[in-house]
Amino acid sequence: MKSIYRNPKAKQSIQQQYVQYLADFKTQPEREYVETRFGITHVLRTGNKNGKPLFIFQGGNCINPMTLSWFTDSFNDYNIYAPDTIGHPGFSDETRISGKDDSYALWMKDLFDFYNIENTAVLGASYGGGILLRLAAFMPEKIACAILVHPAGIAKGPKKNMIKEILLPLLLYKTTKSSKYLKKITNAMSTNQIPDKDREIIEMIFNNVTLEKGMPKLTTEKELMNFKSPVFVITGTHDIFFPDSKLAAPAHKLFGNLLEYKTFHTGHFPSKKELKRMNRDISCFLEKNYNTGYPL
């Protein structure tokens, strides 16, 4: 298996950044390793061990604690399971699996089976949202309710903007190593509000990891014929990858009356202010759709 990292030292450095990021959490997550059919998966466990399960799936080409930190307001109420996506930077195996078939659904099933969870609330951010839609397509019975935050898998983003704001600066950054191009990229992703530590980790990943360039496939209405669970889709007006202007119509078409939809004035990486509002709405959605009638 070819490594996703440039060399072993690069892998070690990124994993050290991962551990340092965890040190900033108020409560240190437990770390577990689960054998799946695709390889070993590293899982962060935190939250209320007596609460109902909530699986949180990370964004792509970053480290798990980065996007997990967005949802710490849920930690007091739910038993949190947050796996490092297999094939992405972190502590899971480096096997990359397809986002175009049932591979991610099977990977998630292995995790649920390990923890003896038949049915659970799930939350996916960005690439993680696309992963969850693979589960909705192939194993809808596993999902009690779903929260998709700035998700892949619903619609393609604005290609012209992404080329101008992300791809061209990335090419220039790779060529020159000038920090001004990295700053341009991270500012475009976050409307100039990305934390310095996130910027540093993104720089390290850009320099030392073979990026996952493909996204999980776009989900079709036919694939979701048997999906009957409540869905909360959260979008950002300034999201460079999956803006509200591109997601609103297809999301309503995909989910119909199952859908709750909310837009925030934020980029792909939400601001602290918008995260507070976002977490309040997530809490309300889970209270309404998950805390009653949960099948034990």
In DSSP notation, 89-150 reads SSSS------SSSSHHHHHHHHHHHHTT-SSEEEEEETHHHHHHHHHHHH-GGGEEEEEEES
- pLDDT score recorded for residue 159: 85
Three-state DSSP state, 265 = coil
Stretch 47-62: mean pLDDT, rounded?
Answer: 96
Rounded-to-integer distance, Cα 77 and Cα 186, Å:
32
**How many domains does the structure of the chain reveal?**
1
Closest C-alpha to 194, from 66, 21, 22, 18 = 66
Question: Mean pLDDT over residues 50-70, rounded?
Answer: 96
Show the domain range for 58: 8-289
> Does residue 195 sit within a domain?
yes
- Percent helix, strand, coil in the chain, to 5, is 45, 20, 35
Give the separation between CA 67 and CA 45, rounded to whole angstroms. 14
- Residue 89 inside a domain? The answer is yes
pLDDT score at 213: 85
Q: Is the pLDDT of residue 296 over 80?
A: no
Query: How confident is residue 295, by pLDDT bands cut at 50, 70 and 90?
Result: very low
Supply the pLDDT for residue 294. 43
User: In angstroms, rounded to a whole number, what is the distance separating the alpha carbons of residues 180 and 36?
Assistant: 41
Lowest mean pLDDT among 85-89, 98-102, 288-292: 288-292
Q: Looking at residue 193, what is its pLDDT?
A: 83
**Section 113-138 average pLDDT:** 97
The answer to whether residues 68 and 43 touch, using CB atoms and an 8 Å cutoff, is: no
Q: Which residue has the higher pLDDT, 187 or 138?
A: 138
Whole-prediction pTM: 0.95
- CA distance linking residue 220 with residue 47, whole number of Å: 34
User: What is the phi/psi pair of residue 27, to 5°?
Assistant: -115, 125
Query: In the chain, pLDDT over 90 holds for what percent of residues?
Result: 82
Residue 293, pLDDT > 80, answer no
- Sequence length of the chain is 296
Residue 295 inside a domain? The answer is: no
1 in any annotated domain: no
Max mean pLDDT range (160-164, 209-213, 276-280): 276-280
Residue type, position 70, single letter: W
Burial (Cβ within 10 Å: 0-12, 13-18, ≥19) of residue 159: exposed
Structural domain contains residue 61: yes
- For residue 2, is it within any domain? no
Would you say residue 258 lies in a domain? yes
CA 13 to the chain's CA centroid: 22
- Judge whether residue 292 has pLDDT over 80: no
- Please give the pLDDT value at position 205: 94
Edge to edge, the sheet with strand 143-149 lists 30-36, 39-47, 78-83, 52-57, 120-125, 143-149, 231-236, 259-264
- pLDDT digit string, tens, across residues 146-188: 999 999 999 988 888 889 998 899 899 888 988 889 889 999 8
Q: How confident is the model at residue 34 (pLDDT cuts 50, 70, 90)?
A: very high
CATH classification at residue 64: 3.40.50.1820
pLDDT at 235 over 70: yes
Domain assignment of residue 254, yes or no: yes
Band of the pLDDT at 222, cuts 50, 70, 90? very high
Q: Phi and psi at residue 275, in whole multiples of 5°? A: -60, -40
Minimum mean pLDDT range among 44-58, 155-169, 239-253 = 155-169
DSSP type of residue 243: B
Mean pLDDT, the chain, as a whole number? 94
254: nearest Cα among 187, 138, 166, 155: 155
